Amino acid sequence: MANEEFDDAIAGAGIVGLAHAFHLARRGRRVIVFERSMRASGASIRNFGMIWPIGQPPGEMYELARRSRDLWLKVLQNAGLWHERTGSLHLAYHDDEAAVLHEFITSGIECQWLDPQQVSAKSSAVKTEGLAGALWSLVETCVDPREVIAGLAAWLNKEFAVQFAFANAVSDYSDRRLVAGGEEYQVDNLYVCAGDDLQTLFPAVFRGSGLLRCKLQMMRTQALAADRRIGPMLAAGLTLAHYRAFQDCPSLPALKERFAGELPEYLHYGIHVLVSQNGLGELTLGDSHEYGAEIAPFDKEVIDELVLRYLDTFFHTPELRIASRWNGIYVKHPAEPYFSARPAAGVTVVTGVGGAGMTLSFGLAEKIVRENLGELK
């Protein structure tokens, strides 16, 4: 393989790297993907599997997320990978939460308010006691990140002859000469989609980038009974203070002030609680957000306890048994939705999508590839 020449190489076999491989290879380009691990094992397999346009602010980023979701659906169908067009519910149990959601509905995004009876019709897993209602969006789609990342790599190889070099880290690139695993390759272009690795390739690019590392703790339950499907992916009040989608709602500052007084531990650990269910019937639960110097290799039991405590306020949980716990780390920019740079001839760096990697990947990669190939005027 080292003697072959390629149009494009990609460093990183996570979802951002795979999306770039797809858009390049479908144009007939010769593509190789390098991954430092035996298989992709970073943030791309450690998430909820939520393709979640509703979390993006109205306007350009929401439209990019919708485009990405449409591309996802075509790829998933062609690759024969499990997915479910579940939609999403943002549940409101307080007047200030309902106020934020009603304000958001006026933003022009395709969504609607449901009363408690309508919410119950969507999901029997939701607790209706004290429920004011919920924001319903039909576009959100669920995948199993463990399955889909491996399955996409296999499909890209079969469908488009994309080559993969696992356990093979790219250590250098210049003037079409790429070094990986001690071997040299001739490559016209390199896409660096290496997630939170900001030191191996072009570290000077990242020093002034403002990117922050973020650690999340998550859990997965044992599979529920075969007839127990929760329906839409679920979020509740704390989520309104987390996603940029709600940042311009006039009632949000007052809501955050209440959270600060009533739920200080949740704000300290950056906790908001989401629930998704994969095709096996398992629930993915989480998460938390610890940044920079706060990140430690050891998980905190108190975070998991807080997540489960808040989950119990809106979700029927009597039979839940936790089967696994883990953490993931990604990088994000405090002000920008992603980070892209071109530090040298033929090199494009793409990272910093934060918790929206699954959501934005195919739309963002399409945008970057079209820019690089001169397809956007």
CATH number at residue 361: 3.50.50.60
The whole-angstrom separation of Cα 265 and Cα 298 is 18
* Residue range 200-210: mean pLDDT, rounded: 94
How far, CA to CA in Å, does 35 sit from each of 41, 164, 265, 304, 317? 10, 8, 37, 31, 38
Say if residue 296 is in the same domain as residue 363: no
259 & 326 share domain? yes
Same domain, 345 and 280: no
pLDDT band at 244 (very low <50, low <70, confident <90, very high): very high
Q: Is residue 80 part of a domain?
A: no
Average pLDDT over residues 75-101: 98
Given a cut of 70, whether residue 1 has pLDDT beyond it is: no
- Amino acid letter, 168: N
Tell which of 317, 332, 347 closes a domain.
Answer: 332
What band does 319 get if pLDDT is binned at 50, 70 and 90?
Answer: confident
For residue 370, give both structure tokens: 């079209």
Provide the 10 A C-beta neighbour count for residue 113: 16
Q: Looking at the structure, tell me whether residues 183 and 310 fall in a common domain.
A: no
Same domain, 227 and 301: yes
End-to-end CA distance of the chain: 36
Q: Measure the CA–CA gap between 45 and 154, rounded to whole angstroms.
A: 15
- Whether 257 is in a domain gets the answer yes
- Token reading at 173: 């690139």
Q: Do 213 and 195 form a contact (C-beta atoms < 8 A)?
A: no
Confidence bin at 205 (pLDDT 50/70/90): very high
Residue 362 in any domain: the answer is: yes
Give the mean model confidence (pLDDT) for residues 252-269.
98
pLDDT on residue 317: 75
Residue listed under structure tokens 């499990």: 82
The domain in which residue 99 lies consists of: 88-138+212-332
Residues 348 and 312 in one domain: no
pLDDT 10s digits, 160-183: 999 999 999 999 999 999 999 999
Contacts of 167 (CB under 8 A, 6+ apart): 35, 36, 37, 38, 181
Would residue 192 count as lying in a domain? yes
Range 94-109 average pLDDT: 96
Do 308 and 181 share a structural domain?
A: no
pLDDT at residue number 7: 98
Predicted TM-score (pTM) of this structure: 0.97
Q: What is the mean pLDDT of residues 34-63?
A: 96
Is residue 326 situated within a structural domain? yes
Residue 355 above 80 pLDDT? yes
Indicate if 151 and 264 belong to the same structural domain.
no
Q: What is the 3-state secondary structure (H, E, C) of the chain?
A: CCCCEEEEEEECCCHHHHHHHHHHHCCCCCEEEEECCCCCCCHHHCCCCEECHHHCCCCHHHHHHHHHHHHHHHHHHHHCCCEECCCEEEEECCHHHHHHHHHHHCCCCCCEEECHHHHHHHCCCECCCCCCEEEEECCCEEECHHHHHHHHHHHHHHHHCCEEEECCCEEEEECCEEEECCEEEEEEEEEECCCCCCCCCCHHHHHCCCCEEEEEEEEEECCCCCCCCCCCEEECHHHHCCCHHHCCCCCHHHHHHHHHHHCHHHHHCCCCCEEEECCCCCEEEECCCEEHHHCCCCCCHHHHHHHHHHHCCCECCCCCCEEEEEEEEEEECCCCCCEEECCCCCEEEEECEHHHHHHHHHHHHHHHHHHHCCCCC
Measured distance CA(370)–CA(136) in Å, rounded: 33
Checking if the pLDDT of 43 tops 90, the result is yes
Q: What is the pLDDT of residue 171?
A: 97
pLDDT band at 2, cuts 50/70/90? low
Backbone angles phi, psi at 40, to 5 degrees: -60, 125
Identify the band that residue 372 occupies on the pLDDT scale cut at 50, 70 and 90. very high
68, part of any domain: no
Residue type, 194: A
Which residues partner with 214 through β-bridges? Answer: 291, 330
As a whole number, mean pLDDT of residues 88-94 equals 98
Query: Where residue 36 falls among pLDDT bands split at 50, 70, 90?
Result: very high
Q: Are 188 and 7 in contact (CB under 8 A)?
A: yes
Task: Specify whether 252 is located in the same domain as 310.
Answer: yes
Residues 94-104 have a mean pLDDT of 98
- 196, 214 in Cβ contact below 8 A? no
- Using CA of residue 294, residue 298, residue 304, residue 305, what is the dihedral sign? negative
The confidence score (pLDDT) of residue 3 equals: 66
Together in a domain, 103 and 236: yes
Confidence (pLDDT) at 227: 87
Q: Is residue 81 situated within a structural domain?
A: no
Average pLDDT of the chain to the nearest whole number: 96
| Residue where the block lists tokens 């808040």 | 310
Count of domains observed in the chain: 2
Helical packing angle, 15-25 and 145-160, nearest 10°:
20
Q: Based on the domain organization, do 99 and 173 belong to the same domain?
A: no
> Considering the domain boundaries, does residue 357 fall inside one?
yes
Shared domain check, 347 and 312: no
| pLDDT band at 376; cut points 50, 70, 90 | confident
